[in-house]
Amino acid sequence: MKVFKFGGASLKDAAGVKNVVSILERYRKENLVVVVSAMGKTTNALEAVIAAHAAQNGEAMQHLQTVKENHYAVMRGLFDPQDEVFASVNDTFVEAEWVLEEAPAVDYDYMYDQIICVGELVSSRIVAAYLNKIGLPTQWLDARDIVKTDNTYREGWVNWDKTKENSRKVLETMPAQGGFVLTQGFIGSTSENFTTSLGREGSDYSAAIFSHCLDAEEMVIWKDVPGVLNADPRLFENVVKLDRLSYKEAIEMTYYGAQVIHPKTIKPLQNKSIPLFVKSFLNPEGSGTEISSDTEDTYPPIIVVEKNQALVHISTRDYSFVAEQHMARLFAKLADLRIFVNSMQNTAISFTICVPNVKDRIDSFIRNVNDEFRCKVEEGLELITVRHYNEETIASLKKGKVVLFEERIRNTLQMVVKNVPLIERREVELERAKG
Ligand code: ADP
Ligand code: ASP
Ligand code: MG
């Protein structure tokens, strides 16, 4: 059995759905588990619904109607008006409307998950119905009946034992004579059956969870790029496709923020030696990228840029050294607030961390450690990580930027940079020229 994952970019309209289905037709003799995300930018649109509901500004229902209308437009491009898919999609939206009719839940993250799931639920209904319509036997499966998590809303932690046990249902659902099980990425449920989500862009991770639990022979992620590239093609020209990557290289790249694959995807696959292919839904014949094995290849420089970072400079108020017990306290608080440390450096009495600039969490961290530590925040920064760096690449990345922090270890260079406005850039260049 193979597991395929199609993201929002591949399912952004009726033509996208038809294209995905044309790829699946090639596998009509096989048993596939197909994991889909919400269509296009639906999850962002649902986040606006949720924010409006929390703010009680009277706009939530209207935002939801827009999301619904977008899905109806896709369905009109695929089905006759009498098709029963309209009723099943409508039912899912009605459930979300019920949530909006109630006062917003006190726990924002809980409420978020009860609404955000609509995107995946309706996209999976539409794709499954279309596959059946054109004669590819497909069973729709609710991922929340399989993927069990703890109660950490918006970042559910998978209960592997329960999820493995439930995965038997996937096999029972699979059509015997070739055919597909189609389910949702991104969502799971708690032991009390409340919906949880696995974190933004989590559908890749869902597909890896299914692959792991079902001992899949391979997993394929279908993207709008030819495979994994050595840098984000939206930010860099002359990028190259990486034909093969080790699990280790892939996990390092995605950990540092390469958006092509969710960082949690690799481990469940590596643990069972399941190869991961990243292929293009625009060119399904292309070779893509194969991620497998632990043997290292030689790689070109691989560049990962994480925007919207902040540096938090932390120093002891009483001039005591930043010692282990301080670190323990600081890290316990960071973990508690779910602040993800991308990079760090320390001196005798200070400690600097580079973190995503999530203001409310950073403020709360500062308040919590204020008795012992003085903190200063620098915002508007980028973290650039280069694996397999060379001097030429580094020099070109530094152009037009001020480097605030740089660290090199074997194979990995990290720098936190600030873009210099054009006028200042000229001055910096003149300074540099002067030596
Ligand atoms: P999906 O909707 O399938 O989840 P995303 O838009 O989330 O797709 O992710 C695919 C995008 O990731 C690509 O279009 C590409 O612009 C971007 N990307 C960033 N870094 C890389 C990389 N190293 N290799 C390939 N694509 C990358
Ligand atoms: N739809 C979700 C998101 O946009 C999950 C995913 O696409 O992987 O974050
Ligand atoms: Mg995505």
pLDDT in tens, 373-432: 999 999 999 999 999 999 999 999 999 999 998 999 989 999 999 987 655 555 555 666
- Residue 293's pLDDT band, with cuts at 50, 70 and 90, is confident
Beta carbon of 200 within 6 Å of any ligand 1 atom: no
SS3 content of the chain, % helix, strand, coil (to 5): 40, 25, 35
How many secondary structure helices (H) and strands (E) does the chain include?
15, 16
Q: What is the mean pLDDT of residues 86-105?
A: 96
Whole-Å CA distances, 252 to 53, 78, 152, 224, 360: 38, 41, 25, 22, 28
Here the tokens at position 303 are: 């560049």
433 has a pLDDT exceeding 80: no
Measured in Å, residue 227 CA sits from the centre of ligand 1 at 9
Q: Are 6 and 280 contacting, i.e. CB atoms less than 8 angstroms apart? A: no
Tell me the one-letter amino acid at 225.
Answer: V
Measured in Å, residue 48 CA sits from the centre of ligand 2 at 14
**Among all chains, which residue has been given the structure tokens 């692959």?**
211
Which tops the pLDDT comparison, 434 or 364?
364
262 has a pLDDT exceeding 80: yes
Q: What is the mean pLDDT of residues 344-364?
A: 93
Beta carbon of 186 within 6 Å of any ligand 2 atom: yes
Give dist(CA 127, CA 13) in Å, integer.
11
Which is nearest to 5 in space by CA: 132, 177, 161, 123? 123
Instruction: List the shell of residues around ion ligand 3, using CB closer than 5 Å.
Output: 7, 201
Beta carbon of 111 within 6 Å of any ligand 1 atom: no
Please tell me the predicted confidence (pLDDT) of residue 14. Answer: 98
- Residue 297's pLDDT band, with cuts at 50, 70 and 90, is confident
Q: What is the mean pLDDT of residues 111-118?
A: 98
- Coil, strand or helix: which one is 126? helix
Averaged pLDDT of the chain: 94
Q: What is the mean pLDDT of residues 142-150?
A: 98
Q: What is the mean pLDDT of residues 16-31?
A: 96
Please tell me the predicted confidence (pLDDT) of residue 108. Answer: 95
Measured in Å, residue 291 CA sits from the centre of ligand 3 at 18
- Residue 273's pLDDT band, with cuts at 50, 70 and 90, is very high
Kind and range of the H or E element at 73?
helix 60-76
Please tell me the predicted confidence (pLDDT) of residue 422. Answer: 56
Beta carbon of 38 within 6 Å of any ligand 2 atom: yes
Beta carbon of 278 within 6 Å of any ligand 1 atom: no
Please tell me the predicted confidence (pLDDT) of residue 431. Answer: 64
Phi–psi pair at 307, nearest 5 degrees: -90, 175
Q: Are 311 and 339 contacting, i.e. CB atoms less than 8 angstroms apart? A: no
- Among 123, 206, 224, 277, which residue has the most ligand 1 atoms within 8 Å of its CB, making it the best to mutate? 224
Please tell me the predicted confidence (pLDDT) of residue 398. Answer: 96
Q: What is the mean pLDDT of residues 187-191?
A: 98
65 has a pLDDT exceeding 90: yes
Here the tokens at position 277 are: 């292919």
* Residues 6 or more apart in contact with residue 199 via CB below 8 angstroms: 154, 155, 205, 262, 264
17 has a pLDDT exceeding 70: yes
Q: What angle do CA 161, 166, 171 make, to 5 degrees?
A: 130
Which is nearest to 154 in space by CA: 187, 193, 121, 105? 187
Beta carbon of 214 within 6 Å of any ligand 1 atom: no
Tell me the one-letter amino acid at 322.
Answer: V
329 has a pLDDT exceeding 70: yes
338 has a pLDDT exceeding 80: yes
Measured in Å, residue 258 CA sits from the centre of ligand 1 at 8
Give dist(CA 296, CA 411) in Å, integer.
12
Q: What is the mean pLDDT of residues 22-35?
A: 95
Output the CA torsion sign for 158, 159, 164, 167.
Answer: negative
- Among 225, 234, 237, 240, which residue has the most ligand 1 atoms within 8 Å of its CB, making it the best to mutate? 225
Kind and range of the H or E element at 55?
helix 42-55
- The pTM assigned to this predicted structure is 0.93
- Among 4, 260, 278, which residue has the most ligand 1 atoms within 8 Å of its CB, making it the best to mutate? 260
Beta carbon of 119 within 6 Å of any ligand 2 atom: yes
Beta carbon of 225 within 6 Å of any ligand 1 atom: yes
- Residue 178's pLDDT band, with cuts at 50, 70 and 90, is confident
Whole-Å CA distances, 154 to 157, 158, 206: 10, 12, 14
**Among all chains, which residue has been given the structure tokens 């194979």?**
411
Please tell me the predicted confidence (pLDDT) of residue 322. Answer: 87
Please tell me the predicted confidence (pLDDT) of residue 403. Answer: 95
The full DSSP string for 160-206 is HHHHHHHTHHHHHHS-TTSEEEEEESSEEE-TT--EEE--TTTHHHH
Measured in Å, residue 332 CA sits from the centre of ligand 3 at 30
Q: What is the mean pLDDT of residues 55-69?
A: 97
Beta carbon of 393 within 6 Å of any ligand 2 atom: no
Ligand positioned closest to the Cα atom of 185: 2
Please report, to the nearest 10 degrees, the dihedral formed by the alpha carbons of residues 186, 187, 190, 191 taken in order. -110
Beta carbon of 39 within 6 Å of any ligand 2 atom: no
Q: What angle do CA 197, 199, 201 make, to 5 degrees?
A: 110
Phi–psi pair at 72, nearest 5 degrees: -65, -40
Measured in Å, residue 118 CA sits from the centre of ligand 2 at 12
**DSSP for residue 314:** E
